[in-house]
Amino acid sequence: MAQWWRSRRYQALAVSALVLAAGGALVSSAHAASTPAATSSSGATITVNATGKVLGTPDTLNLTMGVSTTAASASAALERNNAAMAKLQATLTSAGVASAAMQTANLSLSPNTNAKGQIINYEADDTLAVTLTDLKKAGAVIDAASTAAENAARIEGISFSIAHSAGLLGAARRQAMANATSAATTLAAAASEHLGRVLKIDEQSTQLPSPPLADAAGTARSVPLQPGTTPVSVQLQVVFALAP
């Protein structure tokens, strides 16, 4: 009987040891899973600024044109101005320019005075911002609209832009990143270091300039039009790690 009891006691102790061992393994596994992996980085970094620029062909013309009229009375000046603007807009519409592509940018009515401060007449001014997407017809459209408004017509400004610029922006970003990597590699080598992975990228600016081609004195003399090319540029700030 005593021998049987000792045997059972030894079995119980053995089972307890197995349970403790298994529990210890589980605890160790859980601890290993919650511990972050050690980084091999030395903590040193290098920061560079780089620009990527590509040229694109404009696909949109942004036009500001209007009419200016004078008359002895304010009502007469405004009436003449309305008639001239109506002709201008009708010509644009007949040329295929959508209403959504035309927007009134300014409307004013003011008196003109002489040296003594006396009112001599009134001047009405109406400015229209127009977006033209068919550049092949843009020159003819501008000429026709200016002719329709006769002597009241004027062109305040013309600029070109790129509406569909996603592809150009992508190319400029890739170029900027390549320039940043090249510059960082050169600097790291000069410091007897090795360039590591990219830690951070900030896009500082994206530029889609629309250079003006005419001023307030411009008229149909700006026709024919030459859209040329428009630069699209991206500036990046990139932080690289230095390999340990």
Q: Which tens digit of pLDDT belongs to each residue from 112-141?
A: 999 999 999 999 999 999 999 998 889 999
Domain boundary among 112, 133, 161: 161
At residue 82, does pLDDT exceed 60?
A: yes
Same domain? 156 vs 236: no
At residue 17, does pLDDT exceed 70?
A: no
Residue 134 lies in a domain: yes
Amino acid occupying residue 204:
Q
Residues 6+ apart with CB under 8 A from 160: 58, 60, 61, 62, 210, 211, 213, 227, 228, 230
Residue 11 lies in a domain: no
Predicted confidence at residue 209, as pLDDT, reads: 55
Residue 37 lies in a domain: no
Q: What is the CATH number of the domain that holds 98?
A: 3.30.70.2970
State how many domains the chain has: 2
DSSP 8-state secondary structure symbol assigned to residue 216:
T
Q: Write out the residue range of the structural domain in which residue 188 sits.
A: 45-57+165-243
The single residue listed with the structure tokens 């004195």 is: 217
Q: Which of 226, 26, 210 is nearest to 129 (CA)?
A: 210
Same domain? 72 vs 145: yes
DSSP 8-state secondary structure symbol assigned to residue 150:
G
- Percent of the chain scored above 90 by pLDDT? 59
Same domain? 147 vs 203: no
Predicted confidence at residue 174, as pLDDT, reads: 96
Residues 6+ apart with CB under 8 A from 84: 67, 69, 126, 149, 150, 152, 153
At residue 16, does pLDDT exceed 50?
A: no
Predicted confidence at residue 219, as pLDDT, reads: 39
Q: Which of 211, 207, 190, 188 is nearest to 198 (CA)?
A: 188
Query: What is the pTM for the complete model shown?
Result: 0.62
C-alpha distances (whole Å) from 116 to each of 72, 113, 122 are 17, 8, 16
Selected residue with higher pLDDT from 1 and 149: 149
Beta carbons of 238 and 182 less than 8 angstroms apart: no
Beta carbons of 97 and 137 less than 8 angstroms apart: no
How does residue 223 score in pLDDT terms, banded at 50, 70 and 90?
low
